[in-house]
Amino acid sequence: MRKYSRSLVFLLLSFFFSTFLCLGDSSSFSFHETLTQVSTLNALLNGAYDGTVTYREIEKRGDFGVGTFQALNGEMVALDGKFYQVRADGKVYSVSPEEKTPFVSVTFFDPDLKFEIAGVDYEEFKKEFDKKIVNPNLFYAIKIDGVFEYIKTRSVPKQSKPYPPLIEVVKHQPTFEFKNIRGTMVGFWCPAFIKGISVPGYHLHFISQDRKSGGHVLKFTLKKGIVSLDITPNFFLTLPENPMSLQEINRENEIKEVER
């Protein structure tokens, strides 16, 4: 009888904990369902390129995302918990945990939906993905694994002080073109209300399967691939340390220049 009641207690406890853990996992209020961002897009456009948060801290907030580095030294791609730096020389370097970032967006990628797609360019892809955006007030982490007929990426060269605004930097951005390349696109779709804080709409970075090339995606044609998306209802923002006023900046046209 005593043995029996012990087992019952154990069962009840495990039921309690599994339910509790289950709720914890599926709760939308967790870092697994949060887009964490350092600084704002307007601050970056204004030349706030000094890193404020280390990648050691960033990896606690996500295993997937895009960003940049101290002094704007290249494009960052995070995939499966590994962080890559695509520098202006077009090569891919691993990221030291001590490295700081002035601008980054990460989440833990737990896909909610997957679909196959073939024979689309970036604009056609957007039209297909738009259909999956059921709630336009949420964030969507996007992963595209596939074979790309064509990709054009860019990186940004490391800057020195006084830092020029981003619009000046991208005038001299090195671009890279790839044909018939296998790899993964990593990025986000952000709601329109995020203007000034992040990039509204699509923002994708690329990393090749051999981890030797990548960058910020400008154009692509996808031969065949699988798109996964993670609906992300929370947003955590670390404000820029630089005390510049971001109130009156309207950089809508600059964002178009810088991101496309």
Contact residues for Zn ion (CB under 5 A)?
216
Which residue sits closest to Zn ion, CB atoms considered? 216
Nearest-angstrom CA–CA distance, 174 and 86: 11
Q: Which is nearer to Zn ion, 32 or 216 (CB)?
A: 216
Comparison of 216 and 251: residue with beta carbon closer to Zn ion = 216
What amino acid occupies position 56? R
Instruction: State the minimum distance, in angstroms, from the CB of residue 249 to Zn ion.
Output: 19
For residue 216, the minimal CB distance to Zn ion (Å) is 4
Please identify, using beta-carbon distances, which residue of 68 and 228 lies nearer to Zn ion. Answer: 68
Amino acid present at 176: F
Collapsing DSSP to helix, strand or coil, 9 comes out as: helix
CB of 208 to Zn ion, least distance (A): 16
Instruction: Give the nearest distance from C-beta 44 to Zn ion in angstroms.
Output: 10
- Residue number with CB closer to Zn ion (152 or 224): 152
In contact, 87 and 35? CB cutoff 8 Å:
no
Q: What's the token pair of residue 53?
A: 């948060």
Considering the complex, state which of residue 199 and residue 231 has its C-beta at the smaller distance from Zn ion: 199
- Which of residues 32 and 190 has its CB atom nearest to Zn ion in the complex? 190
Residues 6+ apart with CB under 8 A from 237: 37, 40, 197
Q: How far is the CB of 51 from Zn ion (least distance, A)?
A: 16
* DSSP per-residue string spanning 116-144: EEEEEEHHHHHHHHHTT-S-TTSEEEEEE
The CB-of-205 to Zn ion minimum distance in angstroms stands at: 6
Report which DSSP code applies to 203.
E
> How many other CB atoms are found less than 10 A from the CB of residue 96?
12
What are the structure tokens assigned to 162, written together? 């006084």
Q: CA-CA distance, 243 to 52, in Å (whole number)?
A: 13
Closest to Zn ion by CB, 156 vs 229, is: 156
Min. distance of Cβ 154 from Zn ion in angstroms? 8
Exposure of 40 in the CB half-sphere (CA atoms within 13 A): 18
